[in-house]
Amino acid sequence: MTDRTMRIWGVAASVAVAAAIAGCGGSSSDNASTASSSAPANAASTSGGGTTTTTPTAPTTTTGPTTTTTGGTGGTGGGGGYGY
Amino acid sequence: MIAAARAAVAVGVSAVVLAGCGAGGDDQGSAHHSVEAYLARVEPIRLGVNRLLDGADPILSAYRDRRLGPGAAQRRMAALERRFAAYAIRIAALRGVPASLRGAQHAYAHTYVLEDSYLSALATALPERDYEGLPATQARQRAAIIGWRIRLEVVARRLGIRLPADLQLAGRGEIAPSPLGD
């Protein structure tokens, strides 16, 4: 039924949500959620030239866990019970 | 058609998640307290609804197996729907929702309206076993519930709040009781 099909759609939805969270500006204390979003901006605006080598490293590391966490959110099956 | 539905779900979830973006101006301490208080009010409703919906399956399976007559099945489902409606009112009437969660909470509360509508239609459809006209809103409901949970996770992580483990079921389990048992 539609419900079952939705579990498959959940993967597509999770990818979109990961992108949504990545573009969401959170508070400065939130390393996990903000680093991925603010990093590209930092790379473009804060460093003049010398720090260019360092900047790309941080966002790549931080973005990984964020995406992984979010991706798992919609993909897992219900395992019985209702999902409210 | 399926691609369009996928896109709609993705956009819907993203919209809910993004709805709370930029609301980070609260004082950290009061925001922490506010979110914990919100959780304390929402969890009894959410858990109660899941338990209530668990009760729909025995009614539907008994009716499917002819162990329950149409009248009894309809009465029981209608009673269940009325109890669900009480939860729908409680979630809609929730006060003191943190600013960072208002958009997601609004969408989450609306899923209760859709569910109540489905349950009401289901109770009506049972005697004739005419299920073709049941509202097909599960995709929207699931997207909104997932969006709510993810938004909650983002906010809780920012504030260092530990969420209940079973919150992970939100949006993952069944959404609407199926009269066909699938």
C-alpha–C-alpha distance, residues B124 and A65, integer Å? 47
Exposure letters B83-114 (e unless 16+ CB within 10 A, then b): ebbebbebbeeeeebbebbebbbebbbbbbeb
Give residue B77's pLDDT: 98
E strand or H helix at A21: helix A2-22
Rounded to two decimals, the pTM is 0.65
Q: What are B45-62's pLDDT values in tens digits?
A: 999 999 999 999 999 999
- Three-class SS state of B174: strand
- Mean pLDDT score, B22-49: 86
- Three-class SS state of A82: strand
Q: What are B76-99's pLDDT values in tens digits?
A: 999 999 999 999 999 999 999 999
Contact state of A74 with B178 under an 8 Å Cβ cutoff: no
Closest CA to B133 of B144, B153, B117: B117
Cβ-contact B74, B127 below 8 angstroms: yes
Tokens of B115: 């569910």
Which residues in chain A are contacts of B9 at CB distance < 8 A? Answer: 6, 9, 12-13
E strand or H helix at B53: helix B28-54
Interface of A with B in 43-72 (CB under 8 A): 69-70
- Three-class SS state of B126: coil
Which residues in chain A are contacts of B171 at CB distance < 8 A? Answer: 10, 73-74, 83
Q: How far is A46 from chain B (nearest CA, A)?
A: 21
- Mean pLDDT score, B33-55: 97
Q: Is the pLDDT of residue B104 over 90?
A: yes
Tokens of B92: 């809609």
Question: Which ipTM did the prediction report?
Answer: 0.78
Which residues in chain A are contacts of B149 at CB distance < 8 A? Answer: 73
